């Protein structure tokens, strides 16, 4: 019955193909390694909810996709773009987190026979927020979410797993979560390339949300630093190096946590702690005015509750 449902959804989305406006272009970042660079703004009907980066790795035995996109239709477009590079089938999809653009396209890839993998802590958040995420996308995308439903990963890893496919060594690493509880990274040691998922933001301000852990995020970031990645595909923003990731993600998290830890230790009230926090060094980042207040508030409350 599940297989039949997937086939029906697949055929219905094929019929709606002409209504799809988004076109993705693979960006080669290393031999056989490609990224899709999403919009750095918020989710809109024009960007089809694809306001994050995804990517794929080509091997001699199949393709590994990094994140399935926010909808069935975006996942199908990811697959179309992959086929402009290789005829190899998609064998594995890795969900690097539990935000909508990391996994709600799973249904499409499941329908073509791919196996879906994620860090174990992602499952509970997917189950808790999946329908809520889908409802939010419906409000923005309307009929463009047709065919999309929460489809959970087939299997999970705890701290690490190494995929060996067609001569490629692909390491999946989970540290302490961050933007979402199940945030993980994909590390390619041979190419010195890191798919960082929502652990790293550049060009735009990161978002500390009610389900985030700023302290866990910083701890994860510090473990990622030890990989000394030469090339990083961040969750949001342009492909970057480690120095830029430190400036625009690591340093910002340290500022928030240090300031709010001191405020909580001194018994300073929430609003006073927010008012005394100078975030101006990051004001050049997209969404700064939209996110700075909520980030400060949530980090204070997180530390206060520890």
Six-digit token string for 262: 């001191």
Q: Give the per-residue pLDDT at 94.
A: 98
Q: By C-alpha distance, which of 40, 176, 165 is closest to 97?
A: 176
Strand 193-201 to 160-165 pairing = unpaired
pLDDT digits (tens, 9 = 90+) for 235-251: 999 999 999 999 999 99
Phi-psi region for residue 67, left (φ > 0), alpha (ψ -120 to 50) or beta? left
pTM (2 d.p.): 0.92
Strand 62-66 to 54-59 pairing = antiparallel
Q: Give the per-residue pLDDT at 27.
A: 98
CATH number of 2-244: 3.60.15.10
Q: Please state the domain extents for the chain.
A: 2-244
Q: By C-alpha distance, which of 191, 227, 228 is closest to 32?
A: 191
What is the pLDDT confidence band of residue 13, given thresholds at 50, 70 and 90? very low
Other beta carbons less than 10 A from residue 117's beta carbon:
20
Please provide the average confidence, as pLDDT, over all residues in the chain.
Answer: 94
Angstrom distance (rounded) from CA 83 to CA 241: 28
Angstrom distance (rounded) from CA 145 to CA 270: 39
Q: Give the per-residue pLDDT at 156.
A: 98
pLDDT > 90? residue 61: yes
What is the pLDDT confidence band of residue 21, given thresholds at 50, 70 and 90? confident
């Amino acid at each position: 019955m599940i297989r039949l449902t997937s086939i029906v959804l697949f055929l219905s989305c094929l019929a709606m193909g002409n209504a799809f406006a988004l076109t993705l272009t693979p960006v080669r970042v290393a031999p056989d390694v490609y990224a899709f660079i999403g919009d750095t703004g918020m989710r809109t009907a024009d960007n089809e909810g694809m306001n994050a980066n995804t990517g794929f790795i080509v091997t001699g035995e199949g393709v590994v996709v990094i994140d399935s996109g926010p909808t069935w239709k975006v996942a199908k477009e990811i697959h179309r773009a992959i086929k402009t590079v290789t005829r190899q089938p998609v064998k594995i999809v890795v969900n690097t987190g539990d935000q909508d653009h990391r996994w709600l396209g799973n249904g499409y890839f499941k329908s073509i026979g791919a196996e879906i993998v994620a860090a174990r802590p992602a499952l509970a958040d997917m189950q808790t927020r999946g329908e809520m995420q889908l409802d939010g996308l419906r409000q923005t995308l309307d009929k463009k979410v047709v065919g999309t439903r929460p489809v959970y990963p087939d299997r999970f890893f705890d701290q690490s797993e190494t995929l060996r496919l067609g001569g490629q060594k692909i390491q999946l690493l989970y540290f302490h979560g961050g933007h979402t509880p199940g945030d993980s990274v994909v590390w390619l040691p041979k190419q010195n390339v890191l798919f960082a998922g929502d652990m790293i933001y550049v060009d735009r301000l990161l978002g500390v949300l009610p389900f985030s852990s700023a302290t866990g995020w910083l701890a994860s970031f510090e473990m990622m630093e030890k990989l000394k990645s030469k090339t990083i595909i961040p969750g949001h923003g342009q492909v970057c190096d480690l120095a830029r990731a430190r400036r625009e993600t690591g340093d910002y998290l340290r500022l928030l946590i240090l300031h709010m830890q001191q405020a909580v230790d001194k018994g300073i009230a929430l609003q006073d702690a927010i008012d005394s926090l100078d975030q101006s060094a990051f004001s050049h980042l997209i969404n700064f005015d939209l996110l700075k207040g909520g980030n400060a508030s949530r980090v204070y409350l997180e530390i206060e509750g520890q």
